[in-house]
Structures are given as structure tokens and as C-alpha cells.
Amino acid sequence: MKPLPYLKTGRGLPARLKILALPALLAILIALPSGGTAVTNTVARPVGLVRITVNPSNGLALSSIPFDAFNPDINVLFSNQLTGATNESNADFIAQWKTGPQAYTYAYKADNTGNPAHDGKWFLDFTNWSTSTLAFYPGDGFWVKNLQSATQTFLLFGTVVLDDVFTNALCPGQSLFSCPYATRIGLQDTDLKDDGAYSNWDSSSADNVHSWNGVYYDIYWLNDDLWGDPVINWKWCYDSGGYPAPASNDLQLGHGYIYIHTTPTNSLDWTESRPYQNLFPANTNP
């Protein structure tokens, strides 16, 4: 099993782990019908891609796909991307957090094994050769680890999410999540606090959002200011010299984040409204 960054109250990652700050390039394209037949009154559908770069030599990227993938299966979406090996120790891997058991599920890429049924594909391990069933959807987050000596880039693509409202269930404990839309959203502007995020003056007792900055986690908590200060009351805050300060960061395109939901029994159903106009009606009579 490969080590991944872990969380401690008020602490960040071990210094030996490094991660890229995920510079992402977004391209939005328009999907039109193909073929020689004339088409009338056709509605175009937007598609897009995001490019994510991962540092070499154990570089980690906490990533997300802000689109509905044409095929979310790991062996399709990550086909011909990243680098495989003959053993798990040298193979790039992807990890998803499973909220039920509160544990990671890993997928390793195989290559140069001499078996065409294995080479280029993703597996749970290289002992039983069980094919990975990981799939990737908007609103989720996942880790990508680069075991190679060179920087690697991968592309994620699909149709732009046009749902009026997107719901993401954040379970008690830890979840990996992301902005489900093809844009950035200010943390303060999300509906998290209106949908049931738990607030407290003590950061360890409130819901937290953890954002990896390349060295350690930046930690934000939903503050319940006992004095009712409007600058920091009911705001996502960070620790500034022992005092809460309002966060001004965004949930970035292509980034993943860690959400700590402190309510032990109830999930937080985060419902976010589409932050951009839908110019692409689903019917054929715009």
C-alpha cells in the first residue's frame, strides 16, 4: 500500500511529501453533429478539458474532473496517460477515498509485463491482477501520484455540467470533494454553510476544508464567533496568528479538496446552483 497524505488536527503533511499546486488549463469546445447530412435546428453541446501537471519523483496531485466524462472508467479516461511498471513500487497510481469504510482504494498502472492483457491497464494490485473499477465524476476528488523522474501531464475531458443544481453528499468523517462545475467558486460563496455545515469557534470542532498548498494543508473552518463579529461570524476562516480571519480562496478548477464533516450521524447534502448561464437547451427547438 502506498502512503498518502494524512490529516492531524491543526497539522499538515509530512515534509517529505511534495505536491504540485495544480496549474490547470481549461478549454471549452462545442460539440456539433458530424456527417454529411444537413442538420437543421440543432442544439450544440459544450465539452471541455482540463490539463493537470504532476511533479516528478513521488509528486502528488489532489485532482478532480469538472465535467461529465464520456466514459468515467479509469481504463478509458486514463488510457495512454501516466506511466505503468512491472511492480507496484514503480507504477504510477490513483487513489480514491471511500467514505463508507473511510479508507483509500488504489489503482496501479501496469506496463512492460510481457502480458498484453495487463500492459497499459489499471489494477487493484499486481498479485491477483484484479482490474480496477475506479470511476470519476464531477464533485469528487482523487489523488494522482507520479513515481517517474520526469514531470507528467494528464488530460480530463467530457461534457460541461449544465445541471441547474448539483448535489454532493458529504458523509460524516472525511470526504474528497471538488467544485462540480467548469469554473471556480469562492469558498465563502458556496452553499456549504446553508446546507448544514457545522460551525464552531473551535476549528477542531467545526467542519473543515483542507486545501493542499504544496507544503502543507491550508485549513479552513466554519467559524461561529461568540461575539457576533460580522467579519468572521458564520464565515469560513483560517488561523491568523491565533485569531480567525475570513478566507478569500476559491475552489479551483481541476483541484480536489478534503472535507471534514464533524456531525457524527448525518451526511451534509451540499447543493450548489450552476454559477453560469445555460445557453444550450436540451431540446431541439431553441
Report how far residue 23's alpha carbon sits from residue 265's, in angstroms, rounded to the nearest whole number.
37
Residue 100 contacts residue 173 (beta carbons within 8 Å):
no
Q: Looking at residues 122-150, what average pLDDT do you find?
A: 96
Q: Which residue has the cell 467545526?
A: 206
Give me the mean pLDDT over the 190-199 stretch. 95
- CA-CA distance, 121 to 78, in Å (whole number)? 9
Banded model confidence at residue 3, pLDDT cuts 50, 70, 90: low
Q: What is the mean pLDDT of the chain?
A: 85
Q: Is the pLDDT reported for residue 39 higher than 70?
A: no
Taking 3-state DSSP, the helix, strand and coil percentages for the chain, each rounded to the nearest 5, stand at 0, 40, 60
In whole angstroms, give the CA distance from residue 219 to residue 209. Answer: 6
Q: Which helix (H) or strand (E) holds 168?
A: strand 165-170
More confident residue, 217 or 146: 146
Q: What is the pLDDT of residue 2?
A: 54
Q: Which DSSP string corresponds to 52-79?
A: EEE-TTTEEEEE---EE-SS-BHHHHTT
pLDDT mean over 15-39: 42
| 27 pLDDT higher than 60 | no
**267 confidence band (pLDDT: 50, 70, 90):** confident
Q: Which helix (H) or strand (E) holds 160?
A: strand 152-160
The stretch 150-159 carries a mean pLDDT of: 95
What is the rounded CA–CA span in Å between residue 168 and residue 172?
13
Q: What is the pLDDT of residue 43?
A: 60
Stretch among 56-60, 111-115, 245-249 having the lowest mean pLDDT: 56-60
Of the two residues 4 and 141, the one the predictor is more confident about is 141
Model confidence band, residue 11 (pLDDT cutoffs 50, 70, 90): very low
Among 22-26, 82-86, 103-107, the range scoring the smallest mean pLDDT is 22-26
Q: What is the pLDDT of residue 216?
A: 79
Rounded to an integer, the average pLDDT of 69-81 is: 96
Mean pLDDT of the region 224-231:
90
